[in-house]
Amino acid sequence: MNSHSLRETAAVALSLLDLTNLKDDCTPAQISALCARAQTPFGNSAAICIWPRFVAQARGILGADHPVKIATVVNFPSGEMEIADVAAETREAIADGADEIDLVIPYRALMSGNERAVTVMVTAVRAECMAPVILKVIIETGELKDVALIGRASELAIEAGADFIKTSTGKVAVNATLEAADIMLRSIRQSGGKVGFKAAGGIGSVADASLYLRLAETIMAPDWAMPSTFRFGASGLLDDILVVLSGGQSSGAASGY
């Protein structure tokens, strides 16, 4: 990839980035810094993705109707909370100012053959996410592993009303992979619905990002990827984006979430 197209990819990736801090020891000071980092000299990231306890703080910093959206996580990262608790967590996050909810499905239940657990969970949280709130459903592909299971989890999430399907929490050994992305994007195409895709965890460079964008273009359509249909969930990717947009060289190395 030449430097011109790499820079174009970096600009696109910035517009699709959910700049993330889901570290267990995240502090209010780090959230303030994240809100500032999301607004770069080259444009804004699509969103920040943070723990529910920080949503009200971030909304206070960004104000109403800010172009940088606030995403938060529920049933995270285990996927094993009670439905009523997840619904309450979702309601509270939206009341605090969340624009987007990233929900972990009960993936272990699915692995044991319980498809209904996924449908019931996604349906319940979907009911809390009134427009314009966006629901992204995390299927934890690195734990599901099996091609058929990843495909089925994608189908169940889409059928239950997901606006996006997302690869990973970033909290397990294997996070986003191109193989999982391929299965999920094909599930979206097959559904015929207006559903987006989010690759999360392990995407640390513009070179990495370009592979996912190229895959989306191949399976869906050229120019399909935009903030309403495609996101990257990452903490380290912004650093590489800014290097490339400033005229430097992409690190080309993957990193953690």
pLDDT digits (tens, 9 = 90+) for 60-71: 999 999 999 999
For 121-133, write each residue's pLDDT tens digit.
Answer: 999 999 999 999 9
Determine contact, residues 95/125, Cβ cutoff 8 Å: no
- Give the model's confidence band at 1: pLDDT under 50 very low, under 70 low, under 90 confident, else very high: low
pLDDT score of 256 more than 70: no
Q: What is the pLDDT of residue 253?
A: 52
Q: What is the pLDDT of residue 152?
A: 98
Check 96, 102, 208, 240 and give the catalytic one: 102
Mean pLDDT, to the nearest integer, of 11-24? 98
Check 166, 171, 208, 240 and give the catalytic one: 166
The whole-model pTM stands at 0.96
SS3 of 99, please? coil
Mean pLDDT, to the nearest integer, of 228-247? 97
pLDDT score of 225 more than 70: yes
pLDDT, mean over the chain: 96
pLDDT score of 88 more than 90: yes
Check 69, 136, 171, 198 and give the catalytic one: 198
166 as an active site residue: the answer is yes
24 as an active site residue: the answer is no
198 as an active site residue: the answer is yes
CATH of domain 3-245: 3.20.20.70
Rounded to whole angstroms, the Cα distance separating 36 from 190 reads 39
Q: What is the pLDDT of residue 119?
A: 98
Cα dihedral 127, 230, 74, 98 sign: negative
